[in-house]
Chain A
Amino acid sequence: MSNIGAPVRSRGPVVALRTLKERARPGRRAWTLPELDVPSSDISEQHRRATPPDLPQVSEVDVVRHFTRLSQINYGVDTGFYPLGSCSMKYNPKVAEAVAALPGFQRLHPHQPEETVQGALELLWRLEQALCEVTGMARVTFQPPAGASGELTGLLLMRAFHTKNGDPRSKVIIPDSAHGTNPASVALSGYRVVQVPSDGRGLVDLAALERLVDTDVAGLMLTNPNTLGLFEEEIGGIAAALHRVGALLYYDGANLNAIMGRVRPGDMGFDIVHMNTHKTFATPHGGGGPGAGPVGVSARLEPFLPAPVLALDEDNGRYFWDQDRPDSIGQVHGFYGNFGVLVRAFAYVFGHGREGLREAGERAVLNANYLACLVQDVYPLAYPGRPMHEFVATAKPLRRFGVRAMDVAKRMIDLGFHPSTVYFPLVVEEAMMVEPTETETKETLDAFAEAMRQVAAEAEKDPELLHEAPVTTPVRRLDEAKAARDLRLRW
């Protein structure tokens, strides 16, 4: 077996996987606090806790070794190549971490008066202007703390716009290839989901769309490039069909990375755009979050933005939060959104600048196309069109050897790589969705392709090797059915 990817972790001693609770011993502690220097004061009996919570009692070195060990059995972008399709796992620049940790950002209290946070507000103002330029929108709100939250915010904006015009409407159209958050967000916004099928090219079926569009349609949610990694070339016709009946176009910015600096959602006819900063602007994903989901809108939707809205008093150059927004949809986050994440996005945008942002998109598309060329004879592309920043291939040809996409993924782990996304989008059988991103070198792509090809060859010669995989990881294939059946959700 050849190992050609990043160094594979050893399985390590099983004992290292103990929980904190198992490490605990009564009387051990890590905490220190100063002596209380004011008179002590008892909590009244009716409010007092009778039994202390059974938190682990551990020493400081126990805590440090425990979480250090947990980090060692986790794979991040800093560990190696992470080509999860639809997730845009590009490298997260270290400088962004350094500046976000400046006390002048990290130690700001959200209830501080505006005059004490002018630097933070200037940062948000300039980031907003840059994102307006990238998307072709008039204003951006930073409140949504993640992409899905941005979607729901956008849909609430859509509802407020139509309601103000006297007709809230009842339906939102989404393509059948859309990410699951789209229909889930539509349901929470009080609209009904209407699905439009993809055609043989993996694009929105324009004729089918035109049949679905009527004056009860509030809008269409579209990702472009779409969730299959293909550019919706008929976007002009799509936009016209929706605009004809007064419906709005919502741009899901999950794939904005591919077209930065070349095409802008606003110029394609979109009125609402959400961005995922962890995808497009390289903010780290934190093992599941935090994200940030800024939402841009065209001028006609500006009155409805979540309050407060950032404003600049031109007379004295001071920034302030404008609370006087009578048509606002209200507040969608407890404060101003994930500010700490936005500092990192600012560092990315202004570190890259206009050429850097455009180049990031170009290299992402080049890397995806190059990688597709290296593997498509073994893993055929699901659709014939030119991929943008990611491609959807299928492991269907390996099925005759009894091998599934999941087996390929698990074998890739033993070869030292994080595998691609599998079984998404749902409309493709045995889908393998590969997104290399722009931050990877040709050598990495070559090595990944070589491993993918090796696995395909092994599928024919020795399918058991794939079924057994992974064998190099701290745990092997886990029983997910058992996890859902015999619920163990806590100690």
Chain B
Amino acid sequence: MLAACGLSSIDDLFAHLPEHVRLGRELAIAPGLSEMELVGELRRLAGRNRHADEFVCFAGGGAYDHYVPALVWALAGRSELYTSYTPYQPELSQGVLQALFEYQSMVCELTALEVSNASLYDGPTALVEAVHMARAATGRGRVFVSGSVDPRYVAALEAYGRGAGYRPEVFPFPYPAGGPDLGGADVAAVIVQHPDFHGLLEPVREIFEAARGQGSRTIQIFDPLSLGVLAPPGELGADIAVAEGQVLGNHLNYGGPYLGIIAARMQDVRRMPGRIVGETTDVDGQAGYVLTLQAREQHIRREKATSNICTNQTLMAVAATVYLAWLGPGGLAELGRQCAAKTRYTAERLGDLSSAELMWPGGEIFKEFVVVPRREPADVQRRLLDEGFLCGPIVDGRGLLVSVTERRTREEIDRFVKSFEEASS
């Protein structure tokens, strides 16, 4: 091959690289491992972790131990899908394109909104994109965020806001009757999480009504698995809805890869970030799918693009599509009923303990809630770990978030409550 290029050694290929930048030594990285050794080493590392099957998992706060049916990764894991690139040649990529079109369709159905993109990185970065859309749509600057929003979402707004030139302003929670003025003429976005970081159902309609006054964009952070039982963002008055899509058939993966979901109304379709798949026809009139509205995107618009996103989380969106197809409307409703019932049962039992109290007794909850133990929460969390229970994160330095998915049985919950009593006394 070298001879075909008129060269005699590999070094000739690099001869034009300036001497002063060459490394001139070997990399200080160990010699390569055989596959067997590599698997052994990674098994050793994996073995140093305690994973969610070695605990009974009551942890929440943005990542949840929902059941992942066998077919999800049997299908999303087919290598024709996972070893492909972004579908730049649509004739060779109809599989991924159609799956994304179906994903977009299901997200619209779930949220009762009109348009979804083909995925973003995760929940918090999806919120950052939603705020970017809202600021562009309104031509305004201020961003209001409810005090009951997961602090990780607020942190993301703070980090990216430094570049974009805004600071999120937190409004009080619980939202006071006749609360602060969210409808000012300089407000771009009003953000509510529902169910919120503490697991509570929020008076979303009321807040969005107050916000709508002078045309700011209303943004809801939602839980996709709540939408079989809870009224969808579109009906609550959200203009844009974002979510962490990990719950839709994706593994816990120590925080990633997850799935950023974003949906909006058609008024904002040209301000949406990232890839969008559209249906069209081929030269024979047969239906097919392509990436569309690309004039929004970085490879065409460069510094005027709606976002810089290029690589997204397509595979996670495909997994979500398979999962939602498995679940259907009946499964989604039943799963929501089970999460709510099990969570409320657990909260009631924990609330009855003399060594703990609920942070928001009487508040309506869906899939998680905050319990305040008499002892240090970090201490209680550690003692529960020793008993084989994972819960958290710690909230406001005094509470523990407890999340109860469809996977938890009454027997596990009762044991957890008993251990919690011992750990917090």
Contact = CB atoms under 8 A, between A and B. Distances in A.
Given A76-B81, A261-B26, 18 more contacts: A55-B327, A107-B53, A116-B385, A123-B45, A179-B299, A231-B17, A236-B20, A267-B22, A287-B81, A290-B257, A334-B125, A334-B152, A334-B255, A335-B256, A340-B251, A366-B1, A480-B292, A483-B279
Contact of A475 (B288, B312, B336): B288
Nearest to B117: A489
A245 interface: no
16 contacts: A38-B410, A39-B345, A47-B230, A70-B94, A74-B81, A99-B43, A113-B392, A181-B299, A184-B307, A329-B159, A350-B30, A351-B33, A365-B13, A369-B7, A385-B16, A483-B278
A490 B115 contact: yes
A427 interface: no
B52, B255, B329 interface centre (most CB from chain A within 10 Å): B255
A247 interface: no
A36 B311 contact: no
Interface in A163-194: 179-181, 183-190, 193
A294 B98 CA distance: 31
Interface residues of B, number: 196
A354 interface: yes
B357 to A, nearest CB: 20
A20 B256 contact: no
Contacts of B142: none
A366 B1 CA distance: 8
A354 B96 contact: no
A75 interface: yes
Contacts of B47: 104, 119
Interface in A3-45: 14, 17, 19-21, 28-31, 33-34, 36-41, 43-44
B91 A410 contact: yes
A48 B283 CA distance: 46
Interface stretch (A148-156, A205-213, A393-401, A452-460): A148-156
Closest 5 CB pairs of A and B: A335-B255, A104-B46, A119-B48, A353-B32, A74-B95
Among A89, A146, A181, A290, the most chain B Cβ lie within 10 Å of the Cβ of A290
A300 interface: no
Nearest to A14: B286
Interface in B96-150: 96, 98-102, 104-106, 108-110, 112, 114-116, 118-119, 121-125, 132
Contacts of A314: none
B29 A334 contact: no
Given A17-B98, A95-B39, A489-B278, A370 B5 contact: yes
A392 interface: no
Nearest to A112: B390
Contact of A482 (B20, B52, B280, B284): B280
Interface in A81-111: 82, 84, 87, 89, 92, 95, 97-99, 102-111
Contact of B87 (A28, A97, A287, A343): A287
B207 to A, nearest CB: 13
A442 interface: yes
Contact of A57 (B98, B314, B330): B330
A374 to B, nearest CB: 7
B124 A48 contact: no
Interface string A454-487: 0000000000000000100111111110111011
Contacts of B156: 330-334
- For chain A, the bracket of interface size reads 35 or more
B320 to A, nearest CB: 12
A413 B21 CA distance: 40
Contacts of A404: none
A117 B255 CA distance: 12
B359 interface: no
Contacts of B89: 75, 409, 413, 418-419
B223 interface: no
Interface in A301-351: 306, 329-341, 343, 346-347, 349-351
Interface stretch (B54-62, B169-177, B180-188): B54-62
A409 B132 CA distance: 36
B275 interface: yes
Contact of B109 (A55, A71, A74, A103): A55
Contact of A188 (B17, B51, B163): B163
B316 interface: yes
A55 B229 CA distance: 14
A341 B256 contact: yes
A43 to B, nearest CB: 5
Contact of A288 (B29, B43, B46, B275): B275
Contacts of A479: 280-283
Contacts of A57: 328-330
B398 interface: no
B71 to A, nearest CB: 6
Given A60-B326, A159-B162, A113 B381 contact: yes
Given A187-B304, A190-B165, A236-B20, A330 B337 contact: no
B252 to A, nearest CB: 5
A111 B61 contact: yes
Contacts of A410: 91
Nearest to A75: B92
Contacts of B356: none
B83 A77 contact: yes
A421 B315 contact: no
Given A107-B53, A289-B311, A49 B231 contact: yes
B35 interface: yes
A488 B97 CA distance: 13
B324 interface: yes
Interface string A223-256: 0000000010101100000000000000000000
A285 B86 contact: yes
A106 B253 contact: yes
Given A478-B90, A489-B276, A287 B325 contact: no
A74 B149 CA distance: 40
A424 interface: yes
B49 A117 contact: yes
B409 A37 contact: yes
A356 B45 CA distance: 22
Q: Of residues B235, B252, B341, which shows the largest number of chain A Cβ atoms within 10 Å of its Cβ? A: B252
Interface in B292-319: 292-295, 297-305, 307-316, 318
B49 A76 contact: no
A287 B91 contact: no
Given A43-B229, A76-B82, A288-B118, A184 B298 contact: yes
A147 B4 contact: no
A287 B121 contact: no
Contacts of B158: 330
Nearest to A306: B159
